[in-house]
Amino acid sequence: MPSPQPTPHEKMMFQLNLRQRGISDQAVLKAMEDVPRELFVTSAERAYAYRDTALGIACGQTISQPFVVAYMTEQLDLHPEHRVLEVGTGSGYQAAILSKLAREVVSLERFRTLADRARLVLAELGCSNVDVVLGDGFDVPETLGTFDRIMVTAAMEEIPDALLARLEPGGVLIAPVGPMDDTQMLTRVVRNGDAFDRQELMAVRFVPALQGVAREL
């Protein structure tokens, strides 16, 4: 039995909900419209792909609710020339959105299963400017260089100095910061020279960011 496909009405309501909740960046809205969210969820969840809710994926991880994806993307203030680091590939959905708005996206994932699956879906969609790397977001390889924008899609109790150091001057980082077993505060950090200006945006709840590459999965 084929998986249910989203109806035009569902996709229209998807966009309407984003606008009603305050997403106004037209480039972000277009990216959200253009990326088929149903390809990034499990077959059992495809009927719910366009609801404004987080959904479970493999390895105990989630695909964030659409509003949070759009809001975090909008807060990054992306430009077409930007090089972006994403910590936590997950399904690959956020990377696909970022790929529509930036020159290059490097996405780190600690679970091999998720990294391999995300590469397949992103390749299917022609997201050739995304490089999914199996790795640890707390220990970003020096060879990856620095970035204009960094997005962390899992909760960190504190943002590591080593990650902040990867931001170019004027760069922006956004991450959920706080306890692993409670709500976190979505935090926006802007690098001004050697200083990092922080702004708390809203309460969120993300799965925890864990150190190291997973031994299994």
Q: Catalytic annotation on 64?
A: yes
Is residue 67 a contact partner of residue 50, using CB atoms and an 8 Å limit? no
Cβ-in-10-Å burial (0-12, 13-18, 19+) of 60 comes to exposed
Q: Cα–Cα distance between 104 and 84 in angstroms, integer?
A: 6
Catalytic residue from among 3, 24, 43, 64: 64
How far, CA to CA in Å, does 108 sit from each of 61, 78, 135, 147? 14, 19, 5, 13
DSSP 84: E
* Sole residue written with tokens 């706080």: 178
* Sole residue written with tokens 């020279």: 193
Q: What is the set of active-site residues? A: 64
